[in-house]
Amino acid sequence: MNASNLVISAVAACSILTPFSANGANLSEKKKEQKKKPNVIILFSDQHNKDVMGFEGHPDVLTPNLDKLAKQSVVFDRAYCTTGICAPSRSSLLTGLYSRTMGLLSNGEKTSVINKVVSLASVFQQNNYKTFAFGKRHTTGAIDAGWDVQQSHLCDETPGNSYTEWVEKKGYGKEFAADWAAEFGKGSSCSSFSGGKIPTGDLGTRVSLLPENMTMEAFTTLRTIQMIREQAKSDQSFFCWATFYRPHQPYTPLKKYMDLYDVSAWGEGRKNGSSIRKPASLYEPKENIPPMMQSIRDGGNKVWNVNKAYADEQIWRNHIGAYYALVTEIDHCVGEILKALDEAGIADETIVIYTSDHGDFVGNHGMVEKAALGQNVYEDILNIPLIVRYPGNKQKGKRNAELVSLVDIYPTLVNLLELKMPELKYPIQGQSFAETLTKGKPMKREYFVSESWSQATVITKDYKLGIMIDPTVAQPKFDFRSFGDQFFVRKSDSLEIKNQINNDGYKAEIEKLRNYYQDFTSKVPDIGKQEVVKKSLR
Ligand SMILES: [Ca+2]
């Protein structure tokens, strides 16, 4: 397919609440209908801090394939997740809805809403695409519907047909269990090692003993490449969610990637021929950070044992080096998948998106992983990578500073591909960024809100207000209102270590962002959230 044949819709960016009329334009033209539509691959990592990519100027990490992809794509500098934790964030990607509407603000809620959504995969299916999901999904109900072919990392998602069972059949169950145990102290559920006790690793970190082709990342890559080779011969377009488990904990990289990073001491960074650089806010005063993070610093989380890492910084360095090594492994996998698209001759008829569900602290603020529900404010967690390669796009290689989100990807793809939409009980809340992607047009979005049970954060071009909210009877232990709100000024404080909430000079700005939050809550209904609250009262 010639790149110019890719269908570009001219639907203007709509406001948050405009019900999404998504039948695309001009579908009446039969010719267009008969043309094979572009394929879509979403390469999706878990917990990838946006700054930890070579092309972002990171002093250490090696990501040659993502760097190359970025040059061929539009890179969104200000992409955010709707909630800084797995299941809600992934669910927003697949539904185009905010977490409060689904009632999914942590990992486990079940509501009537999530059974009545129309998933992105279902929409593709209804538009005659073949749909594939390879890797961890962490979604539920109708959100998870619409996959023709699915193989998860986790055996509870695709029983009998998962990575967990595959790796054991291949004879590496014990090595995988050792990795898994770095966080959980035992092997993964439904593996032969789920009962036994295996030591955890300091900060959930240890070097993997698995062969390179037996990791969870290798599994997603292998399946995706097989699919590409088969589908290249097919007349049917495909939609594939290729999801990687990493760089999420357990932080257990392969030795070959770990060896790329000198963790023997703090230095000026690999790119300056030195050992890894110390995170700038590793020693941020504890009183700056919200209470749950303080408690994690004190060793309150027995898996992380962060206090131990402060007593012996080698533990920090091993952990941070392991995170970089996992990112480099994912980068390698991304490269393999892109190469397979090239070799199959379908790269110029396939839209490629690289993104992640949220970030990781990687030692910033003296923290590991994401401290979900303990905070939902820091850029490390909320600002996600978003790289979109759209063949023939004149905007390629450009950086885009519009506020966009995972919740926008659903309407954007529907828009770009002119997919026919079924009737929706819950109108799409995301905003299509198709026109900013293909023409560089502004989004006209003044603010974005990311929200968990404990904290709602209003993000604008220059400022950020993290409001501690009432976590209700559903999550009472995550009530941090007495700590107070956080206000950060982007330009002068990129590390987010100077809370300006009591600075009178910003009073008007703070008020403006509070009003944005009111605007958001008045427009985006919390039907699902209220259902969870009601259930908790019973
Ligand atoms: Ca996640």
CA of 526 to the centre of ligand 1 (A): 22
Between CA 408 and CA 413 the distance in angstroms is 9
- Helix or strand (DSSP H, E) at 413: helix 409-417
CA of 11 to the centre of ligand 1 (A): 32
pLDDT interval class at 34 (50, 70, 90): low
Between CA 307 and CA 117 the distance in angstroms is 43
CA of 370 to the centre of ligand 1 (A): 9
Q: For the chain, percent helix, then strand, then coil, each to nearest 5?
A: 40, 15, 50
Question: What is the pLDDT at residue 20?
Answer: 38
Question: What is the pLDDT at residue 24?
Answer: 39
Question: Could you tell me the residue range of the domain that residue 224 belongs to?
Answer: 3-445
Does the structure show a pLDDT above 80 at 184?
A: yes
Between CA 534 and CA 537 the distance in angstroms is 5
Look at residue 523 and tell me if it is in a domain.
no
Distance (Å) of CA 17 to CA 160, 409, 412, 427, 431:
42, 16, 15, 8, 9
Does the structure show a pLDDT above 60 at 269?
A: yes
Look at residue 178 and tell me if it is in a domain.
yes
Look at residue 223 and tell me if it is in a domain.
yes
pLDDT interval class at 8 (50, 70, 90): very low
Look at residue 486 and tell me if it is in a domain.
no
CA of 229 to the centre of ligand 1 (A): 29
Query: 10, 1, 69: which is closest to 38 by C-alpha?
Result: 1
Q: Which residues 6+ apart lie within 8 Å of 509 measured at CB? A: 463, 487
Residue 427: CB atoms within 10 Å: 14
Look at residue 361 and tell me if it is in a domain.
yes
CA of 136 to the centre of ligand 1 (A): 10
Look at residue 17 and tell me if it is in a domain.
yes
Asked if 200 and 303 count as a contact pair (C-beta separation under 8 A), the reply is: yes
Does the structure show a pLDDT above 80 at 12?
A: no
Mean predicted lDDT score pLDDT of the chain? 93
Which phi and psi angles does 449 have, rounded to 5°? -120, 125
Show the tokens assigned to 207: 């070097």
CA of 457 to the centre of ligand 1 (A): 18
pLDDT above 90: percentage of residues in the chain:
90
Distance (Å) of CA 516 to CA 96, 264, 493:
20, 47, 22
pLDDT above 70: percentage of residues in the chain:
94
CA of 290 to the centre of ligand 1 (A): 21
pLDDT single digits (tens) 475-504: 999 999 999 999 999 999 999 999 999 999
Does the structure show a pLDDT above 80 at 457?
A: yes
Between CA 21 and CA 18 the distance in angstroms is 8
CA of 327 to the centre of ligand 1 (A): 14
CA of 92 to the centre of ligand 1 (A): 13
Look at residue 526 and tell me if it is in a domain.
no
Q: Which residues 6+ apart lie within 8 Å of 18 measured at CB? A: none
CA of 357 to the centre of ligand 1 (A): 5
Kindly state the DSSP code that residue 480 receives in the 8-state scheme.
Answer: -
CA of 242 to the centre of ligand 1 (A): 14
Which class for 423: exposed (0-12), middle (13-18), buried (19 or more C-beta within 10 A)? Answer: exposed
Does the structure show a pLDDT above 80 at 226?
A: yes
CA of 372 to the centre of ligand 1 (A): 10
pLDDT single digits (tens) 285-339: 999 999 999 999 999 988 889 999 999 999 999 999 999 999 999 999 999 999 9
Question: What is the pLDDT at residue 190?
Answer: 83
Between CA 104 and CA 158 the distance in angstroms is 22
Question: What is the pLDDT at residue 336?
Answer: 98
Between CA 416 and CA 327 the distance in angstroms is 30
Question: What is the pLDDT at residue 228?
Answer: 98
CA of 26 to the centre of ligand 1 (A): 38
CA of 272 to the centre of ligand 1 (A): 31
Question: What is the pLDDT at residue 196?
Answer: 83
CA of 46 to the centre of ligand 1 (A): 5
Between CA 270 and CA 317 the distance in angstroms is 13
Q: What average pLDDT does the segment 208-218 reach?
A: 98
Total domains in the chain come to 1
Q: CATH number, domain at 177? A: 3.40.720.10
CA of 95 to the centre of ligand 1 (A): 17
CA of 443 to the centre of ligand 1 (A): 27
CA of 371 to the centre of ligand 1 (A): 11
CA of 334 to the centre of ligand 1 (A): 18
CA of 279 to the centre of ligand 1 (A): 22
Q: Which residues 6+ apart lie within 8 Å of 529 measured at CB? A: 99, 100, 101, 103, 105
pLDDT single digits (tens) 91-143: 999 999 999 999 999 999 999 999 999 999 999 999 999 999 999 999 999 99
Helices and strands per DSSP (H, E), number in the chain: 17, 15
Question: What is the pLDDT at residue 31?
Answer: 47
Asked if 165 and 155 count as a contact pair (C-beta separation under 8 A), the reply is: yes
Look at residue 137 and tell me if it is in a domain.
yes
CA of 319 to the centre of ligand 1 (A): 18
CA of 358 to the centre of ligand 1 (A): 6
Between CA 198 and CA 66 the distance in angstroms is 35
pTM to 2 decimal places: 0.94
CA of 355 to the centre of ligand 1 (A): 11
pLDDT single digits (tens) 381-414: 999 999 999 999 999 999 999 999 999 999 999 9
Question: What is the pLDDT at residue 293?
Answer: 98
CA of 7 to the centre of ligand 1 (A): 32
CA of 356 to the centre of ligand 1 (A): 8
Does the structure show a pLDDT above 90 at 236?
A: yes
Query: Sign of torsion, CA 187 191 194 198?
Result: negative
pLDDT single digits (tens) 57-96: 999 999 999 999 999 999 999 999 999 999 999 999 999 9
Does the structure show a pLDDT above 60 at 441?
A: yes
For residue 224, list its beta bridge partners.
Answer: none
Between CA 279 and CA 17 the distance in angstroms is 40
